[in-house]
């Protein structure tokens, strides 16, 4: 395989990895702190993409679609947390899986009812529709580079917030021991609502960035939700650093697996990787709890 093609696939893997990180970071914080399994996270990814595509189609502005879709998904996440999910925190994981899976089915049918079964398009503006020559023989799409840069910037910002601010201290305290954090004066309910808003916004951001690359269609959140769960488990539940490292690894393995391996084996590569890692690190690469 040519060096330029290998470099292009490497960039594709990193770009896919940072998109997975945007999904998995909110998922791992919600699971790590609240002990709540939210399968509806993939639906927020889908809704973010549909909101951006619909607003762009109505206004003709790609930027306005992006700016508006993020608060829409954040508000929807808070509404779900306050109106429904909060009642399931003290219940077992099976109940949480069932109620969030129900939200997935309802969201898919609602989107199909509103937008129809035909996928929506998100045409890129001229400034992002071209390509950039990064090296002789290596031409890479401009929009994918933007996605990569935005994902890395969000990852850095999230690390600064979680590791260097008082809010991040509350998040880490809640992730380590929710009961003691509450006893020390942390408003756990407010932190939970904020986490849902933040995680939902990240899921919406991931969805709208994937929209121009993939088809904006009903059910688009389920495949990436499975990969985000894999990233969460490999990285260590509740660990932002683990989610980032695992997302990059999964993105590269998935990309090169599909290029270098037979189709059936390429699709299995990330799950074989997960089984191998968990055989030696049952709590993931960077477990929060000991």
Give the CA distances from residue 231 to residues 53, 95, 114, in Å, rounded to whole numbers and listed in that order.
27, 23, 32
Q: At what angle do helices 240-260 and 221-235 cross, to 10 degrees?
A: 120
The C-alpha R_g of the chain, in whole angstroms, comes to 19
pLDDT per position as a tens digit, 52-97: 999 999 998 999 999 999 999 999 999 998 888 888 888 888 999 9
CA 288 from chain centre, in angstroms, equals 20
pLDDT per position as a tens digit, 255-289: 888 888 887 787 888 888 899 999 999 888 888 75
Q: At what angle do helices 93-115 and 41-59 cross, to 10 degrees?
A: 20
Residue 251, token pair as written in the block: 């993105």
Residue 170, token pair as written in the block: 């509350």
Give a three-class secondary structure readout of 124-160. CCHHHHCEEEEECCEEEEHHHHHHHHHHHHHHHHHHH
- The C-alpha atoms of residue 107 and residue 49 are separated, in whole angstroms, by 13
Give the CA distances from residue 126 to residues 61, 129, 141, 143, 264, in Å, rounded to whole numbers and listed in that order.
12, 5, 12, 10, 37
Residues, the chain: 290
Res. 47 pLDDT band, cuts 50 70 90: very high
Domains and CATH numbers, the chain: 3-280 (1.10.3470)
Predicted confidence at residue 105, as pLDDT, reads 94
pTM of the entire predicted model: 0.89
% of the chain surpassing 70 pLDDT? 95
pLDDT per position as a tens digit, 203-237: 999 999 998 888 899 989 898 999 999 999 998 88
- The C-alpha atoms of residue 94 and residue 102 are separated, in whole angstroms, by 12
Query: Residues 231, 51: contact at Cβ < 8 Å?
Result: no
- The C-alpha atoms of residue 172 and residue 277 are separated, in whole angstroms, by 24
Query: Residues 218, 117: contact at Cβ < 8 Å?
Result: yes
Res. 98 pLDDT band, cuts 50 70 90: very high
What sign does the dihedral 37-40-45-51 (CA atoms) show?
negative
Q: Count CA within 13 A, CB hemisphere, residue 187.
A: 8
pLDDT over 60 at 1, yes or no: no
Query: Residues 122, 52: contact at Cβ < 8 Å?
Result: yes
Predicted confidence at residue 175, as pLDDT, reads 61
- The C-alpha atoms of residue 163 and residue 29 are separated, in whole angstroms, by 13
pLDDT per position as a tens digit, 168-197: 777 766 666 667 766 777 777 787 788 888
């Amino acid at each position: 395989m040519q060096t330029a093609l290998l470099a292009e696939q490497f960039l594709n893997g990193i770009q896919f990895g940072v998109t997975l990180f945007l999904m998995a970071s909110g998922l791992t914080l919600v699971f790590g702190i609240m002990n709540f399994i939210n399968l509806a996270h993939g639906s927020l990814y889908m809704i973010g993409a549909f909101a951006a595509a619909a607003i762009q189609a109505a206004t003709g502005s790609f930027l306005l679609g992006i700016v508006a879709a993020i608060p829409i998904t954040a508000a929807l996440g808070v509404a779900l947390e306050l109106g429904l999910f909060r009642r399931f925190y003290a219940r077992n994981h099976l109940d949480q899986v069932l109620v969030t899976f129900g939200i997935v089915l309802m969201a898919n049918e609602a989107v199909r009812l509103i937008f129809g079964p035909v996928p929506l398009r998100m045409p890129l503006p001229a400034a992002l529709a071209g390509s950039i020559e990064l090296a002789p023989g290596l031409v890479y799409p401009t929009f994918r580079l933007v996605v990569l840069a935005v994902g890395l910037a969000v990852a850095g910002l999230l690390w600064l917030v979680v590791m260097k601010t008082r809010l991040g201290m509350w998040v880490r305290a809640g992730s380590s021991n929710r009961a003691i954090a509450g006893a020390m004066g942390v408003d756990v309910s407010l932190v939970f609502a904020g986490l849902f808003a933040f995680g939902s916004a990240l899921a919406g951001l991931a969805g709208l960035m994937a929209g121009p690359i993939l088809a904006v269609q009903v059910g688009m959140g389920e495949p990436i939700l499975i990969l985000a769960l894999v990233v969460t488990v490999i990285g260590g539940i509740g660990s932002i650093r683990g989610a980032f490292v695992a997302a990059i690894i999964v993105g590269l393995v998935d990309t090169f697996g599909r290029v270098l391996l037979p189709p059936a084996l390429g699709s299995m590569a990330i799950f074989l990787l997960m089984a191998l890692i968990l055989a030696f690190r049952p709590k993931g690469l960077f477990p929060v709890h000991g």
